[in-house]
Amino acid sequence: MAGYFLGLWLGLGLILLGIEFYFFILARYIEKDLTGIEAIIFILCLVLSIGMFVKSVGSEEMFILGLFSLLPLPVAELTIKSIRTTREKIQEKIEEETDLKNWLYTIEKQPENVNAYVSVGDIYFKRKEYEKALEFYKKASSIIDMPYIHERIKITEKELLIQKGLVWVCPECSYDNKAEDLKCKVCGYSKLDRDILSDIWKHRKDLLKGSLVVIIGPLILIFLVALYIVLPTYLALIITLVAIYFTIKFFITY
Ligand SMILES: [Zn+2]
């Protein structure tokens, strides 16, 4: 009986590590979404995982050690992902700053260059510095009166009002209501509902993931443990595998 269980445990562990290998390394490699250094880190983590798992087999704390052996790859994934986004953001900032400097230099040399004013305005708009954006759009439109510049001025003026809290846009009918109006002048939509609903809507993905981890996570764990008591081990193993497969997929793809 002990040998039978050991075999199952070995099989389960290898399959789980196989799933991790597929998600973190193979699928990435196929999609060409893996740099050399990342590949090396992931493979080292996999080796570490296999080492931990092999060590867990037959030891007294087999279950705990075995579970820990699944951690290195997801941890590496999270670390690499956050480093990547930080680096991309910094890169973007640097490029934007260079663009801004170049356009301001262009304005200095060619004070009639409409394109330069609009481009500087666009950069400030993107940074939500609407007052500065407006200043440059207005300069552009004073040189040449074009519909696309007019459009930008209109949008920026509206964003400025929203930013200052002087106006809120009704999500039902897009009417621009004054801040002190609690209900939409056109359709009667309540601003209070809008704030709460839009907050929930904005964070729906995080909320979903958070509640899944906090509420459903432990339930699934209890459910899985119960499976091992009630069902034949091999059936419980299959269900565990399916659950782990979807959990990994859920947290990786978004
Ligand atoms: Zn409305």
- How many residues can be counted in the chain? 254
Q: Which tokens sit at 176?
A: 């621009």
Report CA(122)–ligand 1 centroid distance (Å): 29
Report CA(68)–ligand 1 centroid distance (Å): 53
Cβ neighbours for 252, distance < 8 A, ≥ 6 positions apart: 23, 77
Neighbours of 136 (CB within 10 A): 24
- Distance, CA of 153 to CA of 134 (rounded, Å): 6
pTM for the structure as a whole: 0.58
Report CA(29)–ligand 1 centroid distance (Å): 49
pLDDT band for position 254 (50/70/90)?
very low
Q: What does the pLDDT look like over 15-67, one tens digit per residue?
A: 888 988 998 889 888 888 888 888 999 999 999 998 888 888 777 777 777 77
Give the C-alpha distances (Å, rounded to integers) separating 90 from 84, 86, 100, 120. 10, 6, 15, 19
User: Strands 167-169 and 176-178, how do they pair?
Assistant: antiparallel
- Distance, CA of 233 to CA of 5 (rounded, Å): 9
pLDDT confidence of residue 109: 96
Is the pLDDT at 203 greater than 90? The verdict is no
Report CA(181)–ligand 1 centroid distance (Å): 11
Please tell me which of 125-134, 157-166, 218-227 the model is most confident about, judged by mean pLDDT.
125-134
Is the pLDDT at 233 greater than 90? The verdict is no
Half-sphere exposure for 40 (CA within 13 Å, toward CB): 3
145 DSSP 8-state letter: -
Candidates 193, 180, 247, 84; CA nearest to 239 is: 247
Is the pLDDT at 200 greater than 60? The verdict is yes
The answer to whether the beta carbons of residues 38 and 73 sit under 8 Å apart is: no
Report CA(189)–ligand 1 centroid distance (Å): 5
pLDDT confidence of residue 193: 67
26 DSSP 8-state letter: I
Report CA(170)–ligand 1 centroid distance (Å): 5
Indicate if the alpha-carbon torsion angle 13, 56, 227, 207 is positive or negative. negative
Q: For 121-148, what is the mean pLDDT?
A: 96
Is the pLDDT at 104 greater than 80? The verdict is yes
Please tell me which of 104-113, 173-182, 226-235 the model is most confident about, judged by mean pLDDT.
104-113
Q: Long-range CB contacts (< 8 A, 24+ apart) of 100-103?
A: none
Which residues share a beta bridge with 178? 167
Report CA(162)–ligand 1 centroid distance (Å): 16
Indicate if the alpha-carbon torsion angle 186, 189, 195, 201 is positive or negative. negative
Report CA(190)–ligand 1 centroid distance (Å): 9
pLDDT band for position 102 (50/70/90)?
very high
Q: What single-letter amino acid sits at 15?
A: I
